[in-house]
C-alpha cells in the first residue's frame, strides 16, 4: 500500500448550475445531479432535474462512470453516474483514469469521507474546495488486479444490501395491502375473501362486514392526552417517555401500564407506537386509556391505518384533538379472538421485515470491516485470488485503448 492523492486517480471537475431564469437550460437530455440525488445506493439512478442541450454550455458535462462527491454543505455524499450527466457547484466529479478500477476508486473515497468532513471544518456551510479535495491523501494500491479483486468483494456486499433493501420495499407494500384488506374485513384471517353479500353498504362510511360491529371510535377505545414532562424534570431511569416522534429519553417514573398504544398529538402527527413496557406518555402525544375489552394490538394497527391529516391541515404547528378521533365511525371485528387472528397475520410480516433489517445491519457491518481491512492493507487478499482478475484487467485495458 502507498499514499495516493485524489488527483492521481483521475481528472476533477467542479459542477455549475445553468442560469435558472432561462427555462430552455433545463430539459430531458442530461441528468442534473445535486447532493439530494446522492443517496445510499452506489449508482445515481435518477435525478429530480435535467439539463437540456442548450443549457449544457453553461455547465460541465461529465461522462458515465464518473464519481460524484459533495464537497459543499453535505460533505462526502457520493455516487457514480450511470450515463453522461451534469452536476451543480456543490459537487466535484472525478473521471477515473485507466490505471485505477473505478469501483475501487469509489470505495477508496467512500472510506475517506470522515476525513473529508474533518478537512471541511464545522463552518455554517462546510466546504472542501477543488484544490484541497484534489490533494486529499488516500492509502491504497496501484496494483490494478488487486484493486479489482477488492472492489469485487465490496461490490458483492453492496449488491446483497441493495437486494435486501428492495425485498424490504416489496414486503412493506405487501404488508400495507394486507393491512388494508384485513382491517376492512375484505380478507378473513383464514385467507379467504368475503363476498359482496357479506357486507353492509353505509352511505358515508362505505362497506363493512355484516358480522362486524359499527360505532364511534370512543366506543372501542378511549384516547387520553399525555402528561407534560420538561427536560429539567426528567430524572434518568428505566421507563421510556413516549413523545409524538417516539422514544428519546427515559424517566424514573411511569403512569401508563402496558401494553400501550400512543400517537402524536402535537408537532409530529401520524406516528403510532406500540409499547410493551411501563411508560410515560408525553404531553405531545395521545395514549389509549381504555381499550374497552378490545385487542390492544388491533387498536394499534387500526390507528396506524387512519389518516389524520384533515384534522390539522393549514395549522402552523400540527395539533390533533382526541375528540375528533372519538367521533369517527369505525367497523370492528366483534370478538377479541378474531382481532387477535388479524394482528397475528400482520405481525408475521413484521417478523419477516425485522429479519431483513437485521440482515442489512449484518451486511453493513461486514462491508465496514472489509473496507477497514482491505483498503488499508491490514488484510491482503491471496495472490491466487488476485490473479483471477489479471486477464480481466488486460482485456479492459485493450478495449479502453481501442
Question: Which pLDDT tens digits describe the chain residue by residue (402 residues)?
Answer: 899 999 999 999 999 999 999 999 999 899 999 999 998 789 998 898 999 999 999 999 999 999 999 999 989 999 999 999 999 999 999 999 999 999 999 999 999 999 898 888 877 889 999 999 999 999 999 999 999 999 999 999 999 999 999 999 999 999 999 999 999 999 999 999 999 999 998 888 889 999 999 999 999 999 999 999 999 999 999 999 999 999 999 999 999 999 999 999 988 888 999 999 999 999 999 999 999 999 999 999 999 998 887 777 556 778 889 999 999 999 999 999 999 999 999 999 889 999 999 999 999 999 999 999 999 999 999 999 999 888 665 545 433 332
Q: Is residue 158 part of a domain?
A: no
Asked if 131 and 246 sit in the same domain, the reply is no
Sheet holding 285-290, edge to edge: 222-225, 285-290, 260-264, 272-275
- Enclosing domain of residue 236: 213-332
The Cβ of residue 276 has, within 10 Å, a number of other Cβ atoms equal to: 10
Asked if 135 and 217 sit in the same domain, the reply is no
Domain count for the chain, please give it: 2
Asked if 130 and 236 sit in the same domain, the reply is no
Q: Is residue 174 part of a domain?
A: no
Q: Dihedral sign for Cα 294, 295, 300, 303, please.
A: negative
Question: What letter would DSSP give residue 41?
Answer: S
Helices assigned H by DSSP within 232-380: 296-305, 322-326, 336-374
Asked if 107 and 15 sit in the same domain, the reply is yes
Q: Is residue 166 part of a domain?
A: no
Q: Is residue 150 part of a domain?
A: no
Q: Is residue 75 part of a domain?
A: yes
Q: Is residue 35 part of a domain?
A: yes
* CATH (domain of 20): 3.90.220.20
Asked if 137 and 228 sit in the same domain, the reply is no
Asked if 138 and 31 sit in the same domain, the reply is yes
Asked if 131 and 236 sit in the same domain, the reply is no
Asked if 31 and 120 sit in the same domain, the reply is yes
Asked if 91 and 222 sit in the same domain, the reply is no
- Strands 67-70 and 91-96 turn out to be antiparallel
Amino acid at each position: 500500500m502507498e499514499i495516493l492523492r485524489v488527483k492521481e486517480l483521475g481528472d476533477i471537475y467542479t459542477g455549475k448550475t445553468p442560469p435558472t431564469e432561462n427555462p430552455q437550460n433545463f430539459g430531458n437530455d442530461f441528468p442534473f445531479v445535486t447532493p439530494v440525488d446522492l443517496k445510499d445506493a452506489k449508482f445515481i439512478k435518477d435525478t429530480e432535474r435535467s439539463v437540456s442541450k442548450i443549457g449544457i454550455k453553461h455547465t460541465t458535462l461529465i461522462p458515465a462512470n464518473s464519481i460524484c462527491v459533495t464537497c459543499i454543505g453535505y460533505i462526502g455524499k457520493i455516487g457514480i453516474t450511470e450515463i453522461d450527466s451534469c452536476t451543480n457547484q456543490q459537487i466535484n466529479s472525478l473521471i477515473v483514469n485507466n490505471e485505477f478500477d473505478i469501483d475501487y476508486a469509489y470505495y477508496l473515497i467512500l472510506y475517506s469521507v470522515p476525513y473529508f468532513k474533518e478537512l471541511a471544518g464545522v463552518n455554517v456551510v462546510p466546504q472542501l474546495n477543488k484544490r484541497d479535495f484534489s490533494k486529499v491523501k488516500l492509502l491504497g494500491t496501484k496494483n490494478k488486479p488487486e484493486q479489482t479483486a477488492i472492489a469485487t468483494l465490496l461490490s458483492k456486499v453492496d449488491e446483497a444490501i441493495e437486494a435486501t433493501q428492495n425485498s424490504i420495499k416489496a414486503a412493506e407494500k405487501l404488508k400495507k395491502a394486507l393491512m388494508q384488506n384485513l382491517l376492512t374485513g375484505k380478507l378473513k384471517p383464514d385467507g379467504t375473501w368475503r363476498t359482496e353479500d357479506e357486507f353492509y353498504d353505509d352511505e358515508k362510511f362505505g362497506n363493512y362486514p355484516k358480522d362486524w360491529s359499527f360505532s364511534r371510535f370512543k366506543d372501542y377505545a378511549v384516547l387520553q392526552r399525555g402528561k407534560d414532562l420538561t427536560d429539567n424534570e426528567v430524572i434518568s431511569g428505566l421507563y421510556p417517555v413516549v413523545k409524538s416522534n417516539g422514544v428519546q429519553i427515559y424517566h424514573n417514573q411511569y403512569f401508563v401500564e402496558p401494553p400501550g398504544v400512543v400517537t402524536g398529538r402535537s408537532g409530529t402527527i401520524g406516528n403510532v407506537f406500540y409499547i410493551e413496557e411501563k411508560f410515560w406518555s408525553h404531553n405531545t402525544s395521545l395514549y389509549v386509556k381504555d381499550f374497552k375489552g378490545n385487542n390492544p394490538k388491533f387498536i394499534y394497527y387500526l390507528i396506524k391505518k387512519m389518516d389524520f391529516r384533515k384534522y390539522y391541515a393549514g395549522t402552523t404547528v400540527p395539533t390533533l384533538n382526541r375528540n375528533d378521533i372519538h367521533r369517527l365511525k369505525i367497523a370492528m371485528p366483534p370478538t377479541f379472538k378474531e382481532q387477535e387472528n388479524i394482528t397475528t397475520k400482520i405481525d408475521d410480516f413484521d417478523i419477516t421485515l425485522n429479519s431483513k433489517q437485521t440482515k442489512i445491519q449484518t451486511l453493513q457491518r461486514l462491508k465496514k470491516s472489509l473496507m477497514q481491512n482491505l483498503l488499508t492493507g491490514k488484510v491482503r487478499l491471496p495472490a491466487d485470488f488476485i490473479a483471477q482478475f489479471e486477464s480481466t484487467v488486460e482485456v479492459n485495458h485493450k478495449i479502453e485503448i481501442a
